[in-house]
Structure 1
């Protein structure tokens, strides 16, 4: 599934804050193949200009779980946006927590890291099991709430949208999608451009965090980062590695 999402993401390469041409609101994050192709070809980044639409695995012709083709595209678009948001947070968090954690050349930023002496992956390993479980439970609750939106992103809704968390009183509303109300006064054209910028930044962040983790796990695997990323001897793909020994 991750390979399919990555293939869809490569419809055009990532770029920070591109100078995006006007994109109609109906095609900004639409869930039809023709509109996704048009969006990829209109993207002003390198691949958008030189290659245009690229879907080597045929992801836009698939049908997941009986959703239909358009529902499947909506699902993939939503998954890409979600992965991009997580990657942007992970990339920034890695930089913030990397710094002079170890002596020598491993100093990406001028201030101290979160846990002295530990690299970012090691800081996760150091969190107690119950702390990790609390994090995953909160994520699960937010994910579950996000699935109640109507219309759903697989049924013509806006991919990437998250419904406001509402309380029993009107003032008890927390909007994770726009917590500070920045988007309220934006025109539809500006909102469409902002969504495209977010997708592009998310794509680049996915490559960025994978590069950091790869260089830490296999020093020298990313030549541009050689000597900048502290080595990590654990396995970042096993988030609970060693945690369940308490039950043995």
Structure 2
């Protein structure tokens, strides 16, 4: 169970990307000044002014893409990891209940063991099951990065909206019936102001969820490390395994080959999206 936290958020200004033959120029809208403006619209409870950026990430230039593209990348990373953390925290809570962790008439997977912690539930999933989950998540991630050229998609390092995930219903030869957001189409149309408030709420909830998820993992590994649970008489099930570890040793021949394949796929995906500068002719 892995979750990483990005450190900064921001929006808007202008940067003209070089024109590529056959493709229109892209206008960037991400600057450090806009990060400050965004923070003023979305104040936090922390007692400091401006953006919280202890590592100076808002001034970096990742992969030679430019500072504006870097800020777009960091904004997208925070929103994405916030979403993952919200799902992870709620999943941890659900998997700690007898309804999920208890006995089942039909076993959820081969080798299921009732009455164990959420981390142990993951440990008990067969390797082939874990690979299916990772491949599925990788397919969603690849599509969200523009694989398949979704209609209207603009990458977040090229002026696209951070946090945007293109509609996926009807993809994979029609096998995916729903979109990830509002899958049943029951939410009313929102105004621009309502969308902005919703984005701020998602960012803030994601930040809190990242803290919450790490707190339950820390408490399960080191009981008493988060005294707030004792204050509210909440018991986090202990776990003595390696939370950040792997079922197989990292030097396992299977994992070595898998990492190599994933690295090559990720590299070519980044080239396709323009995140890796191409060598001059």
TM range (shorter): 0.7 to 0.9
Query: Which residue is equivalent to 2:158?
Result: 155
Tell me if the contact between 1:161 and 1:177 (Cα under 8 Å) persists in the aligned partners: no
RCO comparison, higher one (Cα < 8 Å, 6+) = 1
Deviation of residue 156 (structure 1)? 0.7
- Closer, same or farther: CA 184–33 of 1 in aligned 2, 3 Å: farther
Deviations 1:131-189 (A, max 9, x none): 0000000011111111115311111111111111244999x763223323355611111
Distance in 2 (CA, whole Å) between partners of 1:8 and 1:92 is 24
Distance in 1 (CA, whole Å) between partners of 2:210 and 2:199 is 17
Distance in 2 (CA, whole Å) between partners of 1:237 and 1:169 is 36
Distance in 2 (CA, whole Å) between partners of 1:66 and 1:199 is 27
Tell me if the contact between 2:75 and 2:162 (Cα under 8 Å) persists in the aligned partners: yes
Tell me if the contact between 2:85 and 2:209 (Cα under 8 Å) persists in the aligned partners: yes
Deviation of residue 190 (structure 1)? 0.5
Deviations 1:44-84 (A, max 9, x none): 3312x643422111110000011111101111111111100
Give the 3-state SS of the residue equivalent to 1:220 in structure 2: coil
> Could you say which structure has the larger radius of gyration?
2
Q: Taking structure 1 as the reference length, what is the TM-score of the superposition?
A: 0.77
Does structure 1 residue 93 correspond to structure 2 residue 91?
yes
Deviations 1:114-133 (A, max 9, x none): 55320000000010000000
Query: Which residue is equivalent to 1:46?
Result: 45
Query: Which residue is equivalent to 1:176?
Result: 180
- Closer, same or farther: CA 66–173 of 1 in aligned 2, 3 Å: farther
Query: Which residue is equivalent to 2:7?
Result: 7
Query: Which residue is equivalent to 2:64?
Result: 66
Computed over aligned residues only, the root mean square deviation of the Cα atoms, in angstroms, reads: 3.2
Tell me if the contact between 2:7 and 2:78 (Cα under 8 Å) persists in the aligned partners: no
Query: Which residue is equivalent to 1:104?
Result: none
Q: Taking structure 2 as the reference length, what is the TM-score of the superposition?
A: 0.68
Tell me if the contact between 2:81 and 2:206 (Cα under 8 Å) persists in the aligned partners: yes
Give the 3-state SS of the residue equivalent to 2:55 in structure 1: coil
Tell me if the contact between 1:40 and 1:53 (Cα under 8 Å) persists in the aligned partners: yes
Query: Which residue is equivalent to 2:198?
Result: 194
Query: Which residue is equivalent to 2:167?
Result: 164
